[in-house]
Amino acid sequence: MKKYQEIFTTKINESFAMFKQQDTIRKGDLYQLVHQMKGTGASIGLNTLSEVAEAQLIRIAEIEGERLPKDIWMPVIEAIEAVLQQQAELPARPRELIRQEPLLLISSNNDWLMRARERIEKEGLQVIVAADKERAIAHLYEAHPLITLVDGSWREHITKEDTVYVQQKMFSFVMFIGGNLKFEEKQLYFRNGITDIIDQHEVDELVIEIIFNRLKLLDTMEQQVIVDPLTQVYNRSFLAGFPAGRDLEFTCAVLDIDNFKQVNDTYGHASGDIVLRNFAAYLKGAVREEDYVIRYGGEEFLLLMPGIKGELAASRLRKILEGYINQPHELAQTTIYTSFTAGVASIVSDEQLLLEQLIEQADQALYFGKRNGKQQVNVYESCHHNMGEEPYKSLYLSVVDDDTIIRSLLQDNLEGLQMDGYRVQLRAFADGNSLLDSDWIRQAGKHIVLLDGVMPDMDGLEVLSALRTYSNEKNLFVMMLTGRQDNQDVVKALELGADDYMTKPFHVEEVAARIKRLTLRT
């Protein structure tokens, strides 16, 4: 961090030197520079500078007029210069992330959402927020939160059916906090499946302890539950005790329903559930008795086949594919047909491979098929030599920030980011127009944009709005980087389609963790 501190301090001094050569300066220029000190300073360990800058921002906002005389703006600079010589204090690292899955907060009270999120994130937990029921349902499907924490004042929007649905299909604890519920109301909600009802409205130490208690309970339950409640096939927990090396011949296949997101987007998530159930049922009826069908996550399934080689297993899968594409899915609105793509990998001769390695190889063969037209079955041993330099999915990271320090900090620390199944590429942009005018953001693949909220010429919210008009926006995820105090700006970003946000100062480790979480979304 010392390198960034020195660069940033030099930049501040140069800006101050330019100001001092003028009798008057624009209020907006001073505000933007001090705003940058607040956010960037804390992110690189200059905590005292950040605190002083925050106080000066309030002072600047109270000054009237667009152009400020020297006797008005000079005290602001002097207050900041007084702390520039102090030794930088590196921020304490957040507690190690316990789970990758997030918690979901639901409330129409934006101030409460921001306070609750900030308090929970201090514990190293991932948090996503929703201000309405539609957004909450989308988060449940895309992010699979472990705990859903509902503002009790919003409880009239939660029906008994909603609670059962969340717990049985999403496997998420539902907790009410606040709302002044009466004794009879609490009885009714507990009978309907609410896990916890907490009287106080704010997330305090007791609420934090309850959350960690429930996370520990979930860990215990996951060790015991091995059947997916929606599809009635095994889930990922089953893999923990599966002895992949018990047969000399053993094959693993990864199957992915083609264009499943389009089914959800067009017909709704309930229709997507029908397709998932039908697909699982068809697989169970088509495979051998000794084979294992597992829902690996979302629309992705594993098929574990002992005593069979890769090419023979692929041949059987192709016959299953031929039959499946003719199977109708009777939805409420219409009848549709779907297909799947599969990748196959097997243990050959006396080769010793872990199950995780087989799954990774099969996944690469699956992606090869996805890139080459879908609706096919490929064997890793046959196709991996033809995969070229991109056997993995492409992930493009874009850092958009007018602050050179923040750009350098993120670029230096994220450039070597390793992601299973992805080839990560990163590019930094000094402003929104540079990103929007580039071919980079239009490339096929998954994009994650780290977008500064306050920039000259084109504001971060304007850039966000523009990105949401792009043809590839369904594979484009935006994380806002904001130092603004006004929660309404964060809420506006979420309404415009931001997928996540981080308030400066931030830890690069947490940024990387959020990026990894965003890549899990389909």
pLDDT tens-digit map of 403-414:
888 888 898 889
Give yes or no for a contact between 466 and 433, defined as CB atoms under 8 angstroms apart.
Answer: no
**Is it the case that residue 319 has pLDDT exceeding 80?**
yes
Give catalytic residues, as residue numbers.
299
Kindly state the helix (H) or strand (E) to which residue 207 belongs, with its residue range: helix 205-224
CA atoms within 13 A on the CB side of 39: 25
Comparison of pLDDT for 489 and 494, the residue scoring more: 494
Of 407, 391, 420, the closest CA to residue 511 belongs to 407
User: With a threshold of 0.75, does the pTM exceed it?
Assistant: no
Of 261, 289, 287, the closest CA to residue 275 belongs to 261
* Least confident piece of the model among 239-243, 344-348, 432-436, 501-505: 239-243
Q: Residue 181 to residues 3, 148, 203: CA-CA distances in angstroms? A: 54, 18, 17
Task: Give percent of the chain with pLDDT exceeding 70.
Answer: 86
Q: In the chain, count of helices (H) and strands (E)? A: 19, 19
pLDDT mean over 303-310: 90
pLDDT tens-digit map of 97-141:
455 678 999 998 888 988 999 889 888 888 899 888 888 888 877
Give yes or no for a contact between 451 and 478, defined as CB atoms under 8 angstroms apart.
Answer: yes
Give yes or no for a contact between 400 and 451, defined as CB atoms under 8 angstroms apart.
Answer: yes
